[in-house]
Amino acid sequence: MKLMLVAGTRPEVIKLAPVIRAAEKQESVETVFVGSGQHYDAEMFDNFVKELELPKPTRYLKTGSGTQAEQTAKILVESEKVLKEFKPDLVLVEGDTNTVLAIGIATVKLHIPLGHVEAGLRSYDRGMPEEINRTLVANCAELNFAPTEKAALNLIYEGITPWKIYVTGNTIVDACLQNVEIAGKKSKIMEELGLKRGGFILVTLHRVENVDRKEKFSQIIDAFIDLKELPLIFPIHPRSRKMLERFDLALKIEGTGHIKLIKPLGYLDFLWLLNNCAVVLTDSGGVQEEALTLKVPCITLRDSTERPETVMVGGNILVGARKEKIVKTTRKILRDEEFINRLRSVENPLGDGRAGERIVEICKKEIERKEAFLLETGLLSYMILPIKAFNKITVKELEEKMKVKITAIYNEDGEPEFFDKETVIKKGTFLRLKGEKQRLIKTQKMNNEENKKF
Ligand code: UD1
Ligand code: UDP
């Protein structure tokens, strides 16, 4: 199997690393690693490839920065060439960047199956470019690797067929667990910055909706200026560095003493700081997940998150970009020992550290089976069927008996439920069926007839 993995930005390298590692262990898998060129500075891409001991990308696409459309279009055009050159059996992308959307479109249009790692995350905030990307790519993917059941359900809500969804855990947990120990041995960042465990606040910031708006970015910087009680370590993303200067905010920070702006860090140094900070203030997706994995309190400078599991287990608090709220919440968390004790005892809902292996196994199986990738033809339609009968029949049995596909199961309250082939169909639920019209009508009739028997 020829597996092409494409990464465009820092977090994609980190989150694909466990998949690449797992793929490389398999003799039957040939990997082709491609850099989309979205992030091009060594400190945002190549340094992560080296640090995580990944193979050097076989190709880098000529992309670079630009508007949303420019960047997406460049990757779309460039990736078509590389896909035609290497003819992979399957392409894997990770996350929700412009890279993911562009590769998704190019791949599906060449009729090559696409696997989407970290599928189904939704913030339901259409103002974010990432929300658009992750929603659209779900329709390009043949295999959706949802990190959690909640993410899988989001896909089902949108009509993605369940046999295209696998709940695998998030590969960030693999990456984090694989590297935190190494970080502890290798990183000297605490000594270099003169920090003590629990004696500083870590900050990351780069979301368009925060740093590209002067009003919001200023509120956040003002909050940082107020939080004088501990040193605040701020490895700054290139987007934020650019905007900080454009909005004349850099001057405000200079001379505060407690805010330390540093260049983006390598993965091991960053992970080690995260593991040792008192609290992390962030708008990053990956950092919310890593904080929970390392049991570090996280305050998210956004009004929504596509990682609700982190909030629900009590590891993450959303505060938006309002100065007062950021300051008040941070001070509260710094004093709240109970919060930290509770956090230490929670089970990680994001995964068990084996997502990479699972994803590679599934890719292998699906490529061998080919069934997932057959183009569907015929006059297919959909029907919602209230289940009056079919008691004790499993999804598989019903599908085989009636030659239809079940694309969703809704409970009595109309909420979709996650299911697999062995799930037993219950009375009172609703099935969303897909198939040829005659088959659907026959199934409907059976449902009514069987009902008479009950
Ligand atoms: C991108 C992703 C975001 C992800 C983030 C990870 C999209 C829409 N956004 O945001 O989802 O969370 O990466 O960090 O895909 N720049 C450099 N050097 C680089 C790369 C970027 O200086 O190597 C600067 C450029 O000025 C560029 C700006 O950063 O205009 C933004 O880069 P871009 O890739 O467009 O978006 P990110 O904000 O990095
Ligand atoms: N990270 C890093 N160095 C830094 C800041 C972040 O290695 O200076 C890592 C962090 O551990 C996480 C990832 O980068 O795994 C998050 O990337 P980012 O916040 O840029 O993107 P997002 O996760 O929001 O898409």
Q: Specify the residue with its C-alpha closest to ligand 2, atom 3.
A: 265
Q: Is residue 418, in this structure, part of any structural domain at all? A: yes
Q: What is the pLDDT of residue 255?
A: 83
77/113 same-domain check: yes
Question: Residue 178 domain-assigned?
Answer: no
Query: Is 37 a pocket residue for ligand 2 (Cβ < 6 Å)?
Result: no
Which mutation among 38, 45, 239, 301 tests ligand 1's pocket best, with the greatest number of atoms within 8 A of CB?
239
* Residue owning tokens 């950021």: 326
- Verify that 124 and 245 share a domain, yes or no: no
pLDDT reported for residue 454? 39
Shared domain check, 363 and 285:
no
What atom of ligand 2 comes closest to residue 130's alpha carbon? 25
**Is residue 370 pLDDT above 80, yes or no?**
no
Determine the pLDDT at residue 149.
94
Listed range (202-206, 225-229, 372-376, 410-414) with the worst mean pLDDT: 372-376
262-271, 362-371, 397-406, 415-424: segment of lowest average pLDDT = 362-371
How far apart CA 442 and CA 444 sit, in angstroms, is 5
Ligand 1: residue whose CA is nearest its atom 2: 97
Residue 425 lies in a domain: yes
Q: Is residue 181 in some structural domain?
A: no
User: CA distances (Å), 1 to each of 28, 90, 172, 360, 366, in order?
Assistant: 6, 8, 25, 11, 11
- Are 134 and 214 members of one domain? no
Q: Which ligand is nearest to the CA of 275?
A: 2
The verdict on 201 and 229 lying in the same domain is: yes
CB 238 less than 6 A from any atom of ligand 1: yes
Of 74-83, 273-282, 398-407, the one with minimum mean pLDDT is: 398-407
Residue 386 in this model has a pLDDT that exceeds 80: yes
Residue 266's nearest CA partner among 9, 13, 43 is 43
Q: Which residues have C-beta within 8 Å of that of residue 158, sequence separation ≥ 6?
A: 135, 138
Asked whether residue 228 falls in the same domain as residue 138, the answer is: no
Q: Is 231 in the pocket of ligand 2 (CB under 6 A)?
A: no
Residues 191-206 pLDDT 10s: 999 999 999 999 999 9
Tally the domains of the chain: 3
Task: Mark whether 165 and 280 lie in a shared domain.
Answer: no
Ligand 1 probe mutation, 65, 100, 210, 306, most atoms within 8 A of CB: 65
Binding site membership of 285 for ligand 2 (Cβ less than 6 Å): yes
pTM here is 0.91
Distance CA 156, CA 205 (A): 31
48 found inside a domain? yes
Asked if 446 and 385 touch (Cβ cutoff 8 Å), the reply is: no
**Whether 228 and 365 share a structural domain:** no
- pLDDT at position 67 over 80: yes
Query: Hey, whose CA ends up nearest to atom 12 of ligand 1?
Result: 284
CATH number assigned to the domain comprising residue 285: 3.40.50.2000
Residue 448 or residue 88, greater confidence: 88
- Are 9 and 154 found together in one domain? yes
Q: Are residues 357 and 325 in the same domain?
A: no
Judge if 327 and 398 occupy the same domain.
no
Residue 418 maps to which CATH number? 3.30.70.1450
Task: State the number of CA atoms in the 13 A half-sphere of 450 facing the CB.
Answer: 16
Q: Are residues 151 and 90 in the same domain?
A: yes
> Is residue 416 scored above 90 in pLDDT?
no
Q: Can you tell me which residue has the tokens 């998030």?
A: 170
Is 242's C-beta closer than 6 angstroms to any atom of ligand 1? yes
Query: Are the beta carbons of 72 and 99 closer than 8 angstroms?
Result: no
Active site residues per annotation: 206
Q: How far is CA 36 from the centre of its chain?
A: 18
Confidence of residue 346 (pLDDT cuts 50, 70, 90): very high
Q: Which atom of ligand 2 is nearest to the CA of 267?
A: 7
Q: Has residue 88 been placed in a domain?
A: yes
Q: In terms of residue numbers, what domain contains 36?
A: 2-170+353-372
Polymer length in residues for the chain: 454
Q: What is the pLDDT of residue 452?
A: 53
176: in domain: no
Q: Is 14 in the pocket of ligand 2 (CB under 6 A)?
A: yes
Whether residue 42 lies inside any domain: the answer is yes
